[in-house]
Structure 1
Amino acid sequence: MCSASGALLLPYPPGCRVAAFVRREKRFTAVTVDPHTGAELRAHTNNTGSMLGLLRPGTQALLSPAPQRATGPQRALQWTLEALALPGGHRGEPPAWVGVNTLSPNRLLAAAWRARLLPEALAYTGFAPEAKTGASRLDALLTGPGLPPLYVECKNVTLVEDGQAQFPDAASERGRKHLDELVRLRSEGCRAALFFLTQRPDGDCFAPAEAIDPQYAAGLVRALRAGVELWAWRARVTQAGVHLAERLPLAPCWAARVREEGG
């Protein structure tokens, strides 16, 4: 299993604080309270998934302060929800953090590329975020002299079931479209990869969440058969930030399915 030795690649900004989660409102707002004063702290969440099993009242929530703008109005919500604590900790350990900020995988991918921690991309010298292709926009395009373009789509993984880190945690039509676009690019001679970042300490392998989105699971199998690369990694989330930890293998049952359907 490939390891990055827990490198802290994505530090959180100064001024983070821990609050208690109360409820989610209007999809993009997390209502929390300061455990010492009882003051309400409303935080922006960019996670459009269900965050299944994490949104329990009273759960510890890690908030980062919104960046202050030099000009113009400040952001309405002055906090960002970065992580939620696993209830009861992990395997008897103190409570551990689960990163729920869906921008973290994109930022971590760029930081890992700069730090030369991505074995598959060591020869690539250019990195462009938000690459438009066809009717889609993928998270990154890597380029290098004499190399095929390498398109990468990033996904944040917060769900673990039966020892497997699974994606998605809600049916994802957008995710299925990304799979189709990656397959198309692969058929045209480009390289294409999926960077699944599991921002929690449990789960020994990666798998698609077939029970939640069977179409996505089938699409992922087709994509892997077509040559789309699977880059599944674990991140270690602390109050300091997001550390790149180790590579996760595809669950054996799914690896077998890819081989069988590819035969």
Structure 2
Amino acid sequence: MADTIGQVCLPHGGPLRLARFVRRYKRFFIDAEDDGGVFTAHANNTGSMLGLLRPGATVAFSVSDNPKRRFPCTLEMVRLADFRNDFWVGVNTLTPNRLFRLGCAAGAFAELPGYDAIRSEPPFGGGRLDFLLTGPAGRCFVECKNVTMVEDGAAMFPDAATERGCKHLVELTRLAREGLDKAALFFCVQRPDGDCFAPAAVVDPDYAALLAEAVAAGVLVLPYRAEVTEAGIILGKRLPLAPLGNE
């Protein structure tokens, strides 16, 4: 892929099992069917996965070898039909954090120079953020989000109203305004279509408004495309940010 960065590649959590989607229920459970019959798998994505989970769609699960797991399969990807060709969409919400950590270790983010250490889940007033970067440049708090929706040529987040996401934006904006630390948002766009990134104002107008405030306050927004393949997830190039409400 021409727009990948130094081939930073995150492997899946185990060998893949391909099947046909049957149904989703209780948010975290997926029924799927392959030649062995219908089986139940786990989904860690609590979003709507709008437009992806259609009956009969091809889905891919990583298979864990942990004998203590009730359901060894975890939903990783959904095959989406497009007027040009089919492509994979990555839906595992742990991928952005894992890919961001790999990217930092590889020095893939030119926008984040001067950091040589990364710590997971630093606390803040209302809970925890995903990462704290430290180094000669000081401190930078980072929150990571998974993007699976594209509308009108733009990759969009969120695909469902997110109170938790709004709280993260409020905290990142506060940090940026105080000026003692830096703050950044990494949006991992796990699909190949979409020419830019924008908040999904129709889905969550509060999140869209807060993102505009965050950008105005100096929060660094990093929407990066990821190439989703059966071999793993490869970090791609940064997408431009569409004009926001404050621009």
Q: TM-score, normalised by structure 1?
A: 0.89
- Give yes or no for the alignment of 1:133 onto 2:124: yes
Q: How big is the shift at 1:225?
A: 0.3
Structure 2 counterpart of 1:239, one-letter code: E
The CA distance in 1 between the partners of 2:62 and 2:113, in whole Å, is: 32
Match of 1:48 among 34, 40, 46: 46
Where in structure 1 do 4 or more consecutive aligned residues deviate above 4 Å?
none
Q: How big is the shift at 1:66?
A: 2.1
Percent identity between matched residues is 51
1:240 maps to 231
1:182 maps to 172
- Give yes or no for the alignment of 1:258 onto 2:246: yes
Q: How big is the shift at 1:148?
A: 2.5
Q: How big is the shift at 1:135?
A: 1.8
Count of residue pairs the alignment pairs up: 245
Check conservation: 2:8, 2:102, Cα contact below 8 A. Answer: no
- Give yes or no for the alignment of 1:86 onto 2:84: no
- Give yes or no for the alignment of 1:110 onto 2:101: yes
The CA distance in 2 between the partners of 1:67 and 1:142, in whole Å, is: 32
> Which sits farther off after the overlay, 7-16 or 242-251?
7-16
Q: How big is the shift at 1:154?
A: 0.4
Check conservation: 2:228, 2:234, Cα contact below 8 A. Answer: yes
2:56 maps to 58
> Which sits farther off after the overlay, 160-169 or 117-126?
117-126
Check conservation: 1:20, 1:33, Cα contact below 8 A. Answer: yes
Deviation string 1:222-255 (CA, Å, 9 cap, x unpaired) is 010001110000001011110111110011x32x
1:7 maps to 7
Deviation string 1:43-81 (CA, Å, 9 cap, x unpaired) is 111101000000100001010012416xxxx11111000
Q: How big is the shift at 1:258?
A: 3.3
Check conservation: 1:3, 1:247, Cα contact below 8 A. Answer: no
Q: How big is the shift at 1:122?
A: 3.1
The CA distance in 2 between the partners of 1:22 and 1:213, in whole Å, is: 28
- Give yes or no for the alignment of 1:32 onto 2:32: yes
Superposed, which structure 2 residues align to 1:96-245 within 5 Å? 96-145=87-136, 147-188=137-178, 189-245=180-236
Deviation string 1:180-227 (CA, Å, 9 cap, x unpaired) is 010111123210001011100100000000001001100000010001
Check conservation: 1:8, 1:241, Cα contact below 8 A. Answer: no
Check conservation: 1:4, 1:117, Cα contact below 8 A. Answer: no
The CA distance in 2 between the partners of 1:241 and 1:137, in whole Å, is: 28
Deviation string 1:11-52 (CA, Å, 9 cap, x unpaired) is 114421111010001110111111x23x12211111010000
Q: How big is the shift at 1:120?
A: 1.9
Check conservation: 1:193, 1:230, Cα contact below 8 A. Answer: yes
Indicate the RMSD between aligned Cα atoms, in angstroms: 1.6
Structure 1 counterpart of 2:171, one-letter code: E
Q: How big is the shift at 1:105?
A: 0.1
Ranges in structure 2 where 5+ consecutive residues have no aligned partner: none
SS of 2:170's equivalent in the other structure is helix
Ranges in structure 1 where 5+ consecutive residues have no aligned partner: none
2:70 maps to 76
The CA distance in 2 between the partners of 1:20 and 1:6, in whole Å, is: 33
SS of 1:56's equivalent in the other structure is coil
The CA distance in 2 between the partners of 1:194 and 1:4, in whole Å, is: 20
Q: TM-score, normalised by structure 2?
A: 0.95
Inter-CA distance 179–13: structure 2 relative to 1 (3 Å threshold):
closer
Check conservation: 2:8, 2:106, Cα contact below 8 A. Answer: no
